Amino acid sequence: HAADTNRTDLMTITRFVLNEQSKHSESRGDFTILLSNIVLGCKFVCSAVNKAGLAKLIGLAGETNVQGEEQKKLDVLSNEVFVKALISSGRTCLLVSEEVEEAIFVPPSQHGKYIVVFDPLDGSSNIDCGVSIGTIFGIYMAKDKDNATLDDVLQPGNKMLAAGYCMYGSSCTFVISTGNGVNGFTLDPSLGEFILTHPNIKVPTKGKIYSVNEGNAKNWDEPTTKYVESCKFPEDGSSPKSLRYIGSMVADIHRTLLYGGMFMYPADLKSPNGKLRVLYEVFPMSYLMEQAGGQAFTGKERALDLVPSDIHDRSPVFLGSYDEIEHIKELYGACKSDG
């Protein structure tokens, strides 16, 4: 009977957020409406990504399709879908997209109180070889929705109200936190609904995996080099860690959230600020990692305390199991977390 109950006790993402919403009555459903538009965008992108391979196979991608229209690149298409969905939700006043150089100020008639920063299709260079890719987003509140300025979005990550990602892989998985822990939902294509499959995700305190692009080792600084050495040649007699690097942040972070370990994109001589973008890659993933009991560090400070000066700023980042981050902090000489 219990199994039957579980099967019929469908917790969809909308119901879940409504339950969460009831803890913030002041938002009067605005957040639920905003989220449902983000979820709609993800469902569309999931469908487009799954067809992309086929489109390429039958010669549509990059050429004209049967209607003679130029087949849009998936990341451009994904960006358009999210920008339109967020503006038409009537719950946003300012958007920042990885695909758009300038911040997008929403027309006054459609102003809402939220600000959304997002990478519509992170890792899209991996599409052609079938590697999992994803959408990453973070949500801030504007001080005054009718007079939003860039300052509203150049806020530290610790001001984020919510963050999440949607991974387009063997299944479509939506992971989100609204400040009360992290929950994962899997798209049931037959229902067109995201169903709760990973309740209350907690990142293991320690992990046996490290995830970094070893091809950059020549340019790493000493603390990063020492950390990676300790993964490969542990001095405490423990067994070496395994290296897993997919090169698609959403996939590497999803594995780190579930299995533990360390994901890092450190600074190096060529890129002193690393590669990953602060607003829509570092902040959302750092928010999730902390909500799941892990940590996120830039090499100098807690990642969420960073204050961006430009909407496309980059930062080095170390994300993962609590103890792994404590170790890298020691190596960078930062004070250990008082947690």
Residues forming the site for ligand P6P (CB under 6 A): 122-123, 125, 213, 247-249, 252, 275
Nearest distance from residue 259's CB to ligand P6P, in Å? Answer: 17
Q: Whole-angstrom Cα distance, residue 252 to residue 280?
A: 16
Nearest distance from residue 122's CB to ligand P6P, in Å? Answer: 5
Q: Whole-angstrom Cα distance, residue 250 to residue 113?
A: 27
Q: Whole-angstrom Cα distance, residue 71 to residue 310?
A: 32
Nearest distance from residue 266's CB to ligand P6P, in Å? Answer: 11
Q: What phi and psi values does residue 80 have, to the nearest 5 degrees?
A: -60, -40
Between residues 131 and 334, which has the closer beta carbon with respect to ligand P6P? 131
**33: exposed, middle or buried (C-beta count within 10 Å: 0-12, 13-18, 19+)?**
middle
Between residues 21 and 126, which has the closer beta carbon with respect to ligand P6P? 126
- Bridge partners of 182, per DSSP, are 177
Nearest distance from residue 267's CB to ligand P6P, in Å? Answer: 13
Of 128, 73, 122, 77, nearest in space to 98 by CA: 122
Of 270, 275, 304, nearest in space to 289 by CA: 304
Written as six digits, the tokens of 129 are 């070889």
Nearest distance from residue 134's CB to ligand P6P, in Å? Answer: 8
Cα radius of gyration rounded to whole Å, the chain: 20
Query: Which amino acid, 287?
Result: Y
User: What is the dihedral angle through the alpha carbons of 236, 242, 248, 253, rounded to the nearest 10 degrees?
Assistant: -50
Nearest distance from residue 242's CB to ligand P6P, in Å? Answer: 17
Between residues 179 and 272, which has the closer beta carbon with respect to ligand P6P? 272
Between residues 50 and 213, which has the closer beta carbon with respect to ligand P6P? 213
Between residues 27 and 124, which has the closer beta carbon with respect to ligand P6P? 124
Between residues 97 and 248, which has the closer beta carbon with respect to ligand P6P? 248
Nearest distance from residue 58's CB to ligand P6P, in Å? Answer: 27
Kindly tell me the sign of the dihedral angle through the C-alpha atoms of 151, 284, 281, 315: positive
Instruction: Count the helix, strand and coil residues of the chain and give each as a percent rounded to the nearest 5.
Output: 40, 25, 35
Nearest distance from residue 265's CB to ligand P6P, in Å? Answer: 6
Nearest distance from residue 276's CB to ligand P6P, in Å? Answer: 6
Written as six digits, the tokens of 208 are 């046996």
Between residues 63 and 128, which has the closer beta carbon with respect to ligand P6P? 128
Between residues 196 and 228, which has the closer beta carbon with respect to ligand P6P? 228
- How far, in Å, are 109, 187, 203, 280 from residue 151 at the CA level? 21, 36, 33, 16
Between residues 31 and 263, which has the closer beta carbon with respect to ligand P6P? 263
Q: Whole-angstrom Cα distance, residue 216 to residue 269?
A: 9
Q: Whole-angstrom Cα distance, residue 159 to residue 293?
A: 18
